[in-house]
């Protein structure tokens, strides 16, 4: 029996964060090429969740407010996601640079 594949979804908020990251890198590097490369790396990193949805660590700051979220790290960016096993779905909810204020992680739940 083949394994059932999970559905991977991105919230509009997470996609907006990814757009901002792209814009920042393109501006900083004065080229779209490194920004495009980095965003593709983020997508590749997130793709691992299709086969290993619990591979990220639990996000303690969201657990404090009753959210069962996990995270992956790519370079200096934290990728926040929720795994919904009953729906066979992983939802990417936020992406931000880890040098930002840690409590910022709670913004995607408001």
List own/partner pairs for 41-45 with CB under 8 A and 24 or more apart.
41/74, 41/75, 42/18, 42/74, 42/77, 42/79, 42/95, 45/72, 45/74, 45/79
For the domain made up of 7-109, give the CATH fold.
YaeB-like fold (3.30.2310)
Confidence class of residue 106 from pLDDT cuts 50, 70 and 90? low
| Segments making up each domain of the chain, as ranges | 7-109
pLDDT value of residue 5: 81
Q: What are residue 109's phi and psi, to 5 degrees?
A: -100, -5
19-49 residue pLDDT tens: 999 999 999 999 999 999 999 999 999 999 9
pLDDT value of residue 1: 34
pTM, two decimal places? 0.83
Separation of alpha carbons 2 and 108, rounded Å: 34
Q: Is 32 helix (H, G, I), strand (E, B) or coil?
A: helix
4-22 residue pLDDT tens: 688 999 999 999 999 999 9
């Amino acid at each position: 029996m083949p394994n059932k594949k999970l559905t991977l979804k991105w919230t509009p908020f997470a996609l907006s964060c990814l757009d901002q990251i792209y814009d920042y890198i393109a501006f900083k590097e004065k080229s779209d090429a490194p920004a495009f490369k980095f965003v593709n790396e983020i997508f590749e990193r997130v793709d691992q969740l299709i086969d290993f949805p619990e591979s990220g660590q639990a996000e303690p700051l969201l657990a404090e407010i009753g959210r069962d979220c996990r995270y992956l790290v790519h370079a200096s960016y934290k990728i926040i996601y929720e795994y919904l096993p009953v729906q066979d779905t992983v939802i990417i909810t936020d992406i931000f640079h880890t040098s930002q204020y840690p409590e910022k992680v709670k913004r995607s739940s408001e």
